[in-house]
Amino acid sequence: MNTVISFIRNWTLPLAILIGAIGFPIWKHFSFLVPGFIFVMLLLTFCKIPLADLKFTSFHVWLVGLQIAGSVALYFVLRPFNVPVAETAMVCIMTPTGTAAAVITKKLGGNAAVLTSYMILSNLATAIAAPLLFPLVHPMSGGIGFWETFFIISQKVFPLLILPFLLALFLRRFLPKAGSLLAKWQEAAFYLWGITLMIVIARTVNTLVNEPSDKIMAIWLAVSSFLVCCLLFTAGKWLGTLYGKRITGGQALGQKNAILAAWLSQTYLTPIVAVGASAYIVWQNLFNAWQLWMERKRAEKVSLEETIKKTTT
């Protein structure tokens, strides 16, 4: 049993993609569960966060500025050339930091507490920006006006991103035992992530199969999400360097809750845009795997040098 669990943990990303792609006629029907799964994953993550570690600085303000202003700026730069590519860039940049970013940041030697503080701000920023920007860049059909669209999106996005944090605060204050219990269920959050990814991939593949004319566009969207991924990690590391937090800045801007980005694309933008958001999941995981490998090599080198030094003295 332990061997099976270990195999699933180590290969969650390819397994979820494979099962979702092969079984898309079935799994696509479970898309209504995605918002609930995202809510639960955020709740479990926020319950684990030590409130004493939450501190907001100018570094966080600049990160939020890059997240929102960067998404708008790149959208208007790319829109004259290709609207779906512009929407892909916007939704990928606007999406908040992924819940696993703090874990990766800590393993790379960054400041997990600083990143966790930003994760909360980035969720709040997305909850406000998405309802404001989506009606402007992609109006709903049926002649629904801006404010109607704004409230429709707000009713789903704001509770999804903000209520988990508020509920976590409530549990810590009034039901600490329940909050502590949820904080220990991080394993459940991991498996929920895998199931959610499988459903999102299924919907993405369904779009590709039923809209064959969009296959070339899908390639462009995957390429554009790769470039956006490189841009975000680079910009985050650059800003982080100015504050002595290079690793933290890179993960804060680059490691996204891309499952949320895919859901937002499928629900409020053109469904084909979700291809780019889904591809972003692969790109950021490949980059993180490379970073972790480089960090392990560096740690092994340091350990070897220390061993040699002890041996020669």
User: Which CATH code is given to the segment(s) 15-312?
Assistant: 1.20.1530.20
Backbone angles phi, psi at 95, to 5 degrees: -60, 140
Average confidence score pLDDT of the chain: 87
Q: What are phi and psi of 271, to 5 degrees?
A: -55, -35
Query: pLDDT per residue over 73-101, tens digit each?
Result: 999 999 999 999 999 999 999 999 988 78
**Contact at 8 Å (CB) between 229 and 284?**
yes
Looking up tokens 């976590």 gives: 168
What is the arithmetic mean of pLDDT over 57-70? 95
pLDDT value of residue 309:
72
pLDDT tens profile 211-239:
766 778 888 999 999 999 999 999 999 99
**39 phi and psi, to 5 degrees?**
-60, -50
256 in Cβ contact with 96 (< 8 Å): yes
Give dist(CA 123, CA 161) in Å, integer.
6
The tokens describing 152, both together, are: 């429709």
- pLDDT: is 252 or 116 the higher one? 252
Torsional class of 115: left (φ above 0), alpha (ψ -120 to 50), beta (otherwise): alpha
**Residue 280 confidence class, pLDDT cut points 50, 70, 90:** very high
Query: pLDDT tier at 261 (50, 70, 90 boundaries)?
Result: very high
Confidence at residue 89, expressed as pLDDT on a 0 to 100 scale: 96
197 or 307, greater pLDDT: 197
Structural tokens at position 23: 């079984």
Grade residue 276 by pLDDT with cuts at 50, 70 and 90. very high
Q: Is residue 284 within 8 Å of 258, Cβ to Cβ?
A: yes
| Annotated domain spans of the chain | 15-312
Distance, C-alpha 150 to centroid of its chain: 23
Q: What is the mean pLDDT of residues 56-64?
A: 94
Q: Summarize pLDDT for 30-42 with one digit per residue, the tens.
A: 999 999 999 998 8
| pLDDT at res. 50 | 77
Q: What percent of the chain has pLDDT above 70?
A: 93
The model's pTM is 0.87
